[in-house]
Amino acid sequence: MIRRLGKNDHEVCLNLLKTRPAENLFIIGDIEAYGYEQDFQKLWGEFDESYELIAVLLKYEENYIPFATKPFNAKGFAEIMSQDSTFKMMSGLKEITEQIEPFLTQPKRKRQTYYAKCTQLNTMNIDFSNVQQATPQDAEELVELLTSVPEFSDSTTTVERKLRELKDGSSRSFFLKTDGKIVSTVSTAAENSMSAMVVGVATIENYKKKGYATKCMLRLCNQLLGEGKELCLFYDNPEAGAIYKRIGFEDIGFWMMYTYR
């Protein structure tokens, strides 16, 4: 049985999601931020014959994210999406989205990235004491660095947005400074009470291959893991993936992003 979830279902819903907090980073974060009663956000759940919640479908704006722990009614979830005139995107773990995909129209675009998580750092004798945590005063220089790195040339991050995130604590950034300027940085996004996404790992070209990004990652991960949070990240560059795995990240599957209409 599939039905809408409400605030009375909060405990049972989180109990399901927290079995894999890194994998459910976005769903947990959106529930904590916006709950169950917003026009732009809705949740459905599938219950088995024993009234146990086995699957969840989140709608946030035009995007849908499914999650399931057991075989679930993929066709039923697809019907919910198809009946929504605002539906444009589906994203989630490949083993779940690929079950829904056959019941939807052909996507305009489909992208697959590696999805990795970290619950414990590998023992590494690296001194990261010179890595600093960013304050709002660093926002402008951080954005200048990101926009100067080719991999982030299409980044939508603005100084105003970075400033807001650093002020309200919705994101945190760390950086390493040398020769009087910030040369490497890393940030978080989609932080919630159980997990956080690592994003924006960037180093200026002339300062690459010096271990600066690894130091920034270690400082960030050490702090978050100390708060009891699981960390996750996307990557599609095997070279970058090798660095993350040395730190302690492990592949947990593929994250799919489909664009429709």
- CATH architecture classification, 118-254: 3-Layer(aba) Sandwich (3.40)
Q: Specify the pTM.
A: 0.88
Nearest residue to 28 (alpha-carbon basis) of 2, 1, 67, 70? 67
How far is 186 from 215, CA to CA, in rounded Å?
Answer: 10
Q: What is the DSSP letter of 138?
A: G
- What's the pLDDT score for residue 156? 79
Identical topology for domains 2-105 and 118-254: yes
How far is 31 from 226, CA to CA, in rounded Å?
Answer: 23
- CB–CB of 215/55 below 8 Å? no
Taking residue 182's Cβ as centre, other Cβ atoms within 10 Å add up to 20
Tokens representing 255 are 């994250």
Nearest residue to 217 (alpha-carbon basis) of 234, 237, 202, 236? 202
- What's the pLDDT score for residue 118? 96
- What's the pLDDT score for residue 233? 96
Measured CA distances, 216 to 46, 48, 195, 223, 248 (Å): 41, 45, 18, 11, 14
- Strands 195-203 and 230-235 come out as parallel
Tell me the DSSP string of 103-134.
GSPPPSEEEEEEEEEESSPPP-----TTEEE-
- The residues, any chain, with a CB within 8 Å of residue 79's CB and separated by 6 or more, are 103
- State the DSSP H helix or E strand holding residue 250, giving kind and residue range, or none if neither: strand 250-259
CATH of domain 2-105: 3.40.630
- What's the pLDDT score for residue 237? 85
- CB–CB of 203/162 below 8 Å? no
- What's the pLDDT score for residue 86? 95
- Phi/psi at 246 (5° precision): -65, -35
pLDDT in tens, the chain (261 residues): 999 999 999 999 999 999 999 999 999 999 998 999 899 999 999 999 999 999 999 999 999 999 999 999 999 999 999 999 999 999 999 999 999 999 999 999 999 999 999 999 996 688 899 999 999 999 999 999 999 998 887 777 899 999 998 988 888 999 999 999 999 999 999 889 999 999 999 999 999 999 999 999 999 999 999 999 999 999 988 888 988 999 999 999 999 999 997
- Phi/psi at 28 (5° precision): -60, -45
How far is 16 from 56, CA to CA, in rounded Å?
Answer: 9
3-class state of residue 184 by DSSP: strand
Q: Where are the domains of the chain?
A: 2-105, 118-254
